[in-house]
Amino acid sequence: MTAPLTPPPPPHENSPHQVWQAPPPAGAPGAGAYEQDGPGMKTELREAAVITVALALGGVLLGLLWWWLAPHVPLIGDEVDKNWVVYVKDTEGEQAVGVDGTFILLGLAFGLVSAVVVFLLRRRGGVPLAVALGLGGLLGSLLAWRLGVWLGPESDVLAHAQAVGKGVTFSAPLELSAKGALLAWPLAGLLVHLGLTALFGPRDPELPYGERP
């Protein structure tokens, strides 16, 4: 006579050998999946506004440097049949090209410096920051252009020629022949900051093997 077979007891739900894992604390590497990435949109917009204004005001320095370093285009006036004519004294000179080249080189330098400073202060990328670099650099270039023209020689060439007299050399107004030079600062700032962010920016933390999708 054999004893009746009895089923084994069901496993206890709260077995002493079962391990329960608490959720990771709020600063742990795995806890950032549901947390906000970055300082927040309001903070980014506020920082972007400050950067835009600072870069725009930096155009004052760019304008002063352009007015100081740009070569002068020599003009000369003459009176023909009681009418004043003005022409370039040195037709083979490259002063006019040097005016645009000086502005472009200064714009590239300002874009490089502004991108490095913003990256060192911010250490992150983002759309608001990119817009601030581009817009601020463009506003700074526009301000520098208008300031240089205002500080430069008189824009009324005929009146200037009559004032200095016939056959006297005077400087042409400070002008930008290639308006694309205004984009040197914003483009340089965006490209340099993008490169710095790609090379030295923060990386997303890698999830543990079991948590990878």
Segment 60-82 shows an average pLDDT of: 88
> Which of 43, 66, 42, 45 is CA-nearest to residue 140?
66
Q: Is 194 left (phi over 0), alpha (psi -120 to 50) or beta?
A: alpha
∠86-92-97 over CA atoms, to 5°? 85
> Which of 138, 3, 169 is CA-nearest to residue 73?
169
Mean pLDDT computed over every residue of the chain: 79
Which DSSP string do the residues of the chain spell out, in sequence order?
-PPPP-PPPPPPTT-TT----PPPPTTSGGGGGSSPPSS-HHHHHHHHHHHHHHHHHHHHHHHHHHHHHSPP-EEEEEEETTEEEEEES-TT--HHHHHHHHHHHHHHHHHHHHHHHHHHHH----HHHHHHHHHHHHHHHHHHHHHHHHHSS-S-HHHHHHHH-TT-EEEPP---S-GGGGGHHHHHHHHHHHHHHHHHSPPPPPPPGGG--
Contact 117, 54 (CB under 8 A): no
- The mean-pLDDT minimum among 2-6, 95-99, 175-179, 181-185 falls in 2-6
pLDDT digits (tens, 9 = 90+) for 34-63: 334 455 788 888 999 999 999 999 999 999
pLDDT digits (tens, 9 = 90+) for 123-168: 777 888 889 999 999 999 999 999 999 998 888 877 877 778 777 8
Whether residue 104 is predicted with pLDDT greater than 60 in this model: the reply is yes
As beta bridge partners, residue 76 has 87, 169
Q: How far apart (Å, rounded) are the C-alpha atoms in residues 148 and 175?
A: 8
pTM, two decimals, is 0.73
Q: How far apart (Å, rounded) are the C-alpha atoms in residues 138 and 56?
A: 8
Reported confidence tier of residue 99, pLDDT bands at 50, 70, 90: very high
Segment 59-68 shows an average pLDDT of: 96
> Which of 131, 137, 121, 147 is CA-nearest to residue 189?
137
